[in-house]
Amino acid sequence: MNRTRRLRKSENIRRLVRENHVTIDDLIYPLFIEEGKNIENEIVSMPGIKRFSLDRISSELDEITALKIPSVILFGIPVHKDEQGSETWNDNGIIQEAIRFIKKNYPDLYVITDVCFCEYTSHGHCGIIHHGNNADYVDNDTTLMNIAKQTISHAKAGADMIAPSGMMDGTVLTVREALDNTGFTHIPIMAYSVKYASSYYGPFRDAADSAPSFGDRKSYQMDASNRDEALRKATFDDQEGADILMVKPALSYLDIIRDLKNNFDRPIACYNVSGEYAMIKAASEKGWIDGEKVMMESLLSMKRAGADIIITYFAKEVAKVLLR
Ligand code: PBG
Ligand code: ZN
């Protein structure tokens, strides 16, 4: 019998030599908050995940805090959409109201806001569309000005952390300066540094009504073929002042998580996205896999790859498994 095998003989010895663990402390739970009243609708492609209006969200927040999940990330679904996504910087917009509601009633819950425009624009893109001669495209630099406005509005409402997800170049510097110039030097930035143009976002776009009405996001999100580019993107965000670097999606990009872990002395986050959640749920509902075990195994693989933080729709279920 060899040495590694001796250390596998019983559960107790396996526990002693185990290298990685998923803990509740690692988890961020996404919340979809819809403007309106009396809304509590399950998202068809994400069983167990709902869109809530603020008047119905307390039971969800009670459960999250009872399970000791440290943090939520908020996505807003507004009534009013326009070309620029101007509702994102309305101080009385749905996200701003949600931040105030949560910080007032659940002061210990750490509130992160996703800063983007796709749920707020009539065309569903993550920025301002420039109508060019040959083609329409997202205008990076004018979008940055609106990112600053949105950031300041979230900070004023009481957000604990800002997570810009739109993949415009220069975003992190813009967010940092916006925060510093308005007295919010203490608010950290979790940068969606390496965000791939992925087909795994499908269920989210249904959930958030944010599918682009024309074209795709390939001009601003990363090509799934590229690995070296991920390091370049993360280097920019690190230099621009990101406090946490994120990789998204997670499961098909575990190599990228490890690259970032090895190359940056920063906490690394990954986003276990909607399609990854939906696949496990669907196969599990059919009885083809053991959903709970596959959930734990896939989250463990993210920890092993090097993630310090996991944003996941499974957060409540994981917490229940870990607490029993
Ligand atoms: C938008 C955004 C997306 C997600 C979070 N914020 C994806 C997109 O580009 O449409 C995806 C999350 C998920 O799939 O769970 N900037
Ligand atoms: Zn977006």
For the chain, domains (ranges, CATH) are 26-322 (3.20.20.70)
pLDDT band of 211, cuts 50, 70, 90: confident
Hey, what amino acid is at 215? G
Phi/psi of residue 288, nearest 5 degrees: -85, -25
Distance 184 CA to ligand 1 centre (A): 26
Pocket of ligand 1 (CB under 6 A): 114, 116, 118, 126, 165-166, 201, 204-205, 210, 217, 273-274
Which pLDDT does position 305 carry in this prediction? 98
Which pLDDT does position 130 carry in this prediction? 87
Distance 1 CA to ligand 2 centre (A): 54
Is pLDDT above 90 for 261? Answer: yes
Which pLDDT does position 46 carry in this prediction? 97
How much is the pTM?
A: 0.96
Distance 57 CA to ligand 1 centre (A): 22
195 beta partners: 248
Torsion angle (degrees, nearest 10) of CA 41, 322, 21, 186: 60
Distance 206 CA to ligand 1 centre (A): 10
Is pLDDT above 80 for 83? Answer: yes
pLDDT tens digits, 279-314: 999 999 999 999 999 999 999 999 999 999 999 999
Average pLDDT over residues 224-247: 97
* Ligand nearest to C-alpha 192: 1
pLDDT tens digits, 143-158: 999 999 999 999 999 9
Which pLDDT does position 312 carry in this prediction? 98
- Active-site residue set: 195, 248
pLDDT tens digits, 29-77: 999 999 999 999 999 999 999 999 999 999 999 999 999 999 999 999 9
* Ligand nearest to C-alpha 248: 1
Q: Which of 210, 222, 274, 279 to mutate to test the pocket of ligand 1 (most atoms within 8 A of CB)?
A: 210
Q: Which of 247, 273, 313 to mutate to test the pocket of ligand 1 (most atoms within 8 A of CB)?
A: 273
Is pLDDT above 90 for 4? Answer: no
Is pLDDT above 80 for 134? Answer: no
Is pLDDT above 90 for 209? Answer: no
Phi-psi region of 173 (alpha: psi -120 to 50; beta: other; left: phi over 0): alpha
pLDDT tens digits, 175-206: 999 999 999 999 999 999 999 999 999 999 88
Residues with CB under 5 A from ligand 2 (ion): 116, 118, 126, 166
28 beta partners: 71, 311
